[in-house]
Structure 1
Amino acid sequence: MSPPIRRRPRIAAGCAVVAIATATACLESPVRADPAPSFEALLLRLDETPATLEAGALLDAAEARVRQARTVANPELGLEVENAYGSGPFQDYDNAETTLSFSQDLELWGRRGARVGVARAQAGAAVLRLDLASVEAANQLALAYAEAEAADRRFHLAEEALAVTAADARAAQILVEEGREPRLRSIQGEAEAAAARANLEEARAEREAAFARLTAVAMLPTPVTSIESSLLDRVPAAMAAATGATPEVRVAEADSAAAESRIKVERIRAMPDIRASVGIRRYEAEDATALTFGVSMPLPLFDRNRGAIDAARAEFRAAEARLIGARQAAEASRNAAAARLRASASRVAATDAGVSAAEEAYRLSRIGFEAGRISQLEMRSSRAALINARNAAVDARLARVRAEIDLARLQGRAPFGTSL
Structure 2
Amino acid sequence: MTALHGWTSRVAVSGMVLATCLLAGVAPVRAQIAPPFAQLFQDTENAPRQVELQAETDRAAGLARQARARPNPTVSLMTENVAGERPYDGFGRSENTFQINQPIELGGKRSARIAAGEAGLEAAQAKTRDGRLAFAYDLARAYAAAEIADRRIDLAQDEVEEAEADLNAARALVQAGKEARLRSLQAETEANAMRAMLDTAKADRVSAYARLSALSGQPTVFTGLAAPLLPSLEGKAGYGPIDPQHSAPFLVATADREAAMHRVAMAKRQSVPDLTVSVGLRRLEIDNANALIAGISLPFPLFDRNRGNIDAAQAELRGAEARKAGALLETEAEISASLALNEAADARAAAADRTLRTAQESYRLARIAYEAGKSPLIELLAARHGLGAARGVVLDAAAARFDARARLARLSGRTITGEEIR
Letter in 2 for 1:368: A
* Map of 2:151 onto structure 1: 153
> Which whole-Å CA distance do the structure 1 matches of 2:292 and 2:183 have between them?
115
The one of 156, 176, 179 aligned to 2:177:
179
Instruction: Name the counterpart of 1:14.
Output: none
Partner in structure 2 of residue 258 of structure 1: 259
CA shift digits 1:198-231 (9 cap, x unpaired):
1111111111211221222223353222334111
Bigger CA drift: 160-169 or 215-224?
Answer: 215-224
Structure 2 counterparts to residues 19-418 of structure 1, below 5 A: 20-27=3-10, 33-235=31-233, 237-243=237-243, 244-418=245-419
Q: Aligned partners of 1:193 and 1:109: how far apart in 2?
A: 83
- Give the whole-Å Cα distance in 1 for the aligned partners of 2:187 and 2:176: 16
Deviation at 1:34, TM superposition (A): 3.8
Contact 1:272/1:300, CA 8 A, preserved across alignment: yes
1:34·1:226 contact (CA, 8 Å) conserved in 2?
yes
Aligned residues: 403
For 1:306, the aligned partner's letter is R
- Do 1:149 and 1:230's aligned partners in 2 also have CA atoms closer than 8 Å? yes
| Aligned-residue RMSD, C-alpha | 2.1
Alpha-carbon deviations, 1:279-325, whole Å to 9, x = none? 22222222222222211111111111111111111122222222222
Moved more, 159-168 or 57-66: 57-66
Match of 2:18 in 1: none
Amino acid at match of 1:187: L
The Cα shift of 1:379 comes to: 2.3
Separation of aligned partners in 1, 2:10 and 2:251: 47
| Structure 2 unaligned regions, length at least 5 | 16-29
Quote the Cα distance in structure 2 between the aligned partners of 1:410 and 1:395. 23
The answer (yes or no) to whether the contact 1:358–1:382 under 8 Å persists in 2 is yes
- What's the CA shift for 1:89? 4.1
Measure how far apart 1:398 and its partner are: 0.8
Unmatched segments (≥5 aa) in structure 1:
1-16
Distance of 1:238 and 1:186 partners within structure 2: 52
TM-score, normalised via structure 2 length? 0.89
Cα distance in 2, alignment partners of residues 359 and 227 from structure 1: 28
Query: Can you list the C-alpha shifts for 1:166-219, whole angstroms capped at 9, x where unaligned?
Result: 111111121122222233322211111111111111111111211221222223
Residues 212-267 of structure 1, C-alpha deviation per residue, up to 9 Å, x if partnerless?
21222223353222334111222274112111332122112212221221112221
SS in 1 for 2:414: coil
- Bigger CA drift: 279-288 or 35-44? 279-288
Distance 1:237 1:138 in 2: 18
The corresponding residue for 2:25 is none
- Give how far 1:88 is off: 4.6
> What is the deviation of 1:84?
3.5
Residue 125 of structure 1 and its aligned partner are, at CA, apart by 1.3
Q: Secondary structure at the match of 1:70?
A: coil
Give the secondary structure class of the aligned counterpart of 1:416: coil
Question: TM-score normalised to the size of structure 1?
Answer: 0.90
